[in-house]
Amino acid sequence: MNQAYIYDAVRTPFGKFGSGLASIRPDDLAAHVIRESVKRAPRLDVERIDEVVFGNANGAGEENRNIARMGTLLAGLPVSIPGTTVNRLCGSSLDAAIIASRQINAGDAELMLVGGAESMSRAPWVLPKTEKPYPAGDLTLASTTLGWRLVNNAMPSEWTISLGEATERLREKYGVTRQQQDRFAADSHNLSAKAWDEGFYDSLVSVVPGTDLTRDEGIRAGSSAEKLGGLKTVFRTENGTVTAGNSSPLSDGASAAWIGSERAAGLLGMNPLARIAGRGAHANDPQYFGYAPVEAANRALAKAGIGWDQVGAVELNEAFAAQSVACINAWGVDPSIVNQHGGAIAMGHPLGASGTRILGTLARSLQASGQRWGVAAICIGVGQGLAVVLENVAADGDPDNWKA
């Protein structure tokens, strides 16, 4: 079996809902990170790209005609490069990377460009069609920004509660306190700010032309659990713990990564960053969606043939602080190795882009620290989780072996 490697990753800064990137269409966000990926590959003959696979969770707006294909064409790549779009909600772009790695493993491809894009600001309202024309009553527009809409009445009601209420139920089940959530959220902001100040994201982020956004817009340096503790709860007025401060915000952005075989080093003119060593998927009750990464990561580690005691870095997408804390507790890992450069509570969570964001961050984190093994994991609405194990190739043998 051929081995699959991640060679490079790039993303936009993530913008707040209705703010820094709200004027940019999602297909243009995708095109930007595709163009940037190509620019960063010094030897690349674009005709050698086997396929572009992008994630997107909405699909109902300006990205509706296969955003991978649209982004490829808008980026000026040859029309001969195929594109496919993946929708696994929040896990869409991590799923895109998993799909690409399997194609590499199977020998069906040598070089794949993967990623994802989401504009939650520009997600449209939709009006359902009626069974018969000319209805006499009113019709209601449904927002496609986040969560359930146009719900099938056959779905059990406990499965279709809001993501916030689901998180309240999860924290009750797994014993996560408000104080733990607010501490975790404050760390997300402060670690994100520190990483930006120290230049960690300089090589990972590319500014979108026509915008002034140079950093992730949601970061609040100097956050504290005490300050966040003063915020009102959002989903429950009584006995609630989930607030806007300990949840990821609605966001806009895009991300991309090169996935290729060992031979792709020569095609790109790059050394690989990390080997994709294990993959895992898991599903559980939809109302406990935030806990699904636990078993997904365990399965990915089993596929890689290692245990948690060997993992030096974890990138866990922070949909909510409560579910993040619950996952970390279940794994029994040292919290200090999780999201060492901040997370989605601070930086944002543009649904289709977050998977490749955590994968690229993990690869660069392993490179910077010299740790050998890392895990990228993400929870997914309707009760799913995905995870990928990366092996830092420079930590296993002579880095000169990877010279292009």
Could you list the active site residues? Answer: 90, 349, 379
The sign of the torsion formed by the CA atoms of 171, 176, 182, 185 equals: negative
Residues in CB range of 149: below 8 A, 6 or more apart: 126, 142, 143
Residues in CB range of 132: below 8 A, 6 or more apart: none
Characterize 332-341 residue by residue with b for buried, 16 or more Cβ atoms within 10 angstroms of its Cβ, and e for exposed: ebeeebbbbb
Instruction: Return the structure tokens found at 231.
Output: 């915020």
d(Cα 260, Cα 109) in Å, to the nearest integer? Answer: 8
What's the number of CA atoms in the CB half-sphere (13 Å) around residue 391?
19
Give the three-class secondary structure for 43. Answer: coil
Backbone angles phi, psi at 243, to 5 degrees: -125, 175
Q: Which helix (H) or strand (E) holds 281?
A: strand 274-283
